[in-house]
Structure 1
Amino acid sequence: MREIGIPHPRLPLPAVGYEDDMAEFLVWLGDAIPMVAALGIREMRRDGDALEWQLALEPSLNDKGTGFGGALTAQTTLLGWCWTTLWLRRHGLSRDVVVAEASQRFLAPVTGDYRLTCEPEAGDAPSALAERLEQRGKGRIALVQRLWCGDTLCLEACGDYAVLPAG
């Protein structure tokens, strides 16, 4: 059981040359952030520079029978945090990540199960982050999250994620 003010133990970094097991990461994430259990995440996978979740709508229903904006916003923010954390882990770094700024545009109601994608806003953003981490020990990356219900883009979010200095 989590306690207020007590950090959750970090997941050990994967062995050199190996990537995170997404199922194992999701289990750890659910232990570290209790609300994850209520988000309806069915699957998490990586595709190149994109991270994707498949989600059930039912846990995030609002009074109108569609997706609740607050839940969807929390999911986009957390997916960006996961993208950044997993990117760091692939580079052998165990660092704290925080969301520095986030915004979202709701484009259409979410009326069924959906998928969320997250990728860098600019193609060179990961290399720029690596360079800043090397030079200054900290950095930021801008990510874009998109929520798709079938072929319909329902939500687009943007977030800046800060990687804090080690120690």
Structure 2
Amino acid sequence: MSLPRQPGIPHPRLPLPKGQPENLAAFQQWLSDAIPMVSALGIRAVTRQGDALTWQLALTPNLNDKGTGFGGALTAQTTLQGWCWVTLWLRERGINRDVVVAEASQRFLAPVTSDYRLVCTPAVPEGPTQLASKLAERGKGRIALTQQLYCGERLCLEASGSYAVLPPH
């Protein structure tokens, strides 16, 4: 059990996986400790395959007054998932750096009416290679990511964001 978070005090970093595959359950637990609202988002499972990070989520903790997905919760999830994509990508390469969202937008296409999945991928296939180049050249960089939320096979939300990897302290 972790201590309650305090404003202005950074949460300790999770040790890098050191050549091992990331333990996504341990990462999710660390994330819940580091960002208290995460435990209320209904994230049931986290998986990675290739350049895709997928979350399975429960609708119930994210309901609005109409009984469908609350746009604010869905927006927070897409933004957080992009941050996680970049953080996990860096950790896979043995890099422990700060990541921030620079821009984010969402387009709501249909109501979210059941448990759902959220898939995050680079906006362009060469995005990860370009980020690696910028990090090597300048010590910082950005990547554009997209998130798509599906209820079954129906696309309900599309989001995009630009995430910055900050230079070392």
Does TM, normalized by the shorter one, top 0.5?
A: yes
CA distance in 2, matches of 1:39, 1:145: 16
CA distance in 2, matches of 1:80, 1:126: 13
CA distance in 2, matches of 1:126, 1:58: 34
Question: What residue identity is the alignment partner of 1:5?
Answer: G
Secondary structure of the equivalent of 2:9?
coil
1:14 aligned to which of 3, 11, 17: 17
Q: CA deviation at 1:15?
A: 1.5
Q: CA deviation at 1:157?
A: 0.1
2:143 aligned to which of 141, 144, 151: 141
Q: Does 1:2 align with 2:1?
A: no
Q: Which residue of 2 aligns with 1:24?
A: 26
Q: Which residue of 2 aligns with 1:43?
A: 45
- CA displacement, residues 51-81 of structure 1 (integer Å, 9 cap, x when unaligned): 0000000000000000000000000000000
Question: What residue identity is the alignment partner of 2:87?
Answer: T
Q: Which residue of 2 aligns with 1:98?
A: 100
So what's the TM-score if we normalise by structure 1?
0.99
Q: CA deviation at 1:139?
A: 0.1
Q: Does 1:108 align with 2:110?
A: yes
Q: Which residue of 2 aligns with 1:161?
A: 163
- CA displacement, residues 81-109 of structure 1 (integer Å, 9 cap, x when unaligned): 00000000001100000000000100000
Q: CA RMSD in A?
A: 0.4
Question: What residue identity is the alignment partner of 1:144?
Answer: T
So what's the TM-score if we normalise by structure 2?
0.98
Q: Which runs of 4+ in 1 moved over 4 A?
A: none
CA distance in 1, matches of 2:32, 2:87: 15
Residue correspondences, number: 166
Q: CA deviation at 1:19?
A: 1.8
CA distance in 2, matches of 1:77, 1:151: 22
CA distance in 2, matches of 1:159, 1:108: 20
